Amino acid sequence: MAIRHGAFERIRSVLADADADGPLTAREILELLDEHDEEFDSAHQVATVLGRRAQTGEVEVIRDQPYRYDITDEAQ
């Protein structure tokens, strides 16, 4: 599974365009991406991209079941 450069920016852009409120699951984000014609292979790929950005503080991972992801205000 190749993660193309700019994946986080594409996710962030779609979430901003969709005016998504609050934390979403990777599957919910994948559905929004599909609606906006952004190709991602799976919810796992979305979670991987967002998990990497969580290490830099740009994404908050809410470790409920299922995990939810919230992009911080500074990143938007």
pLDDT in tens, 9-48: 999 999 999 988 889 999 999 999 999 999 999 999 999 9
pTM: 0.86
The highest-level CATH class for domain 18-75 is mainly alpha
**How many Å from the N-terminal Cα to the C-terminal Cα in the chain?**
26
pLDDT in tens, 22-31: 899 999 999 9
pLDDT > 90? residue 74? no
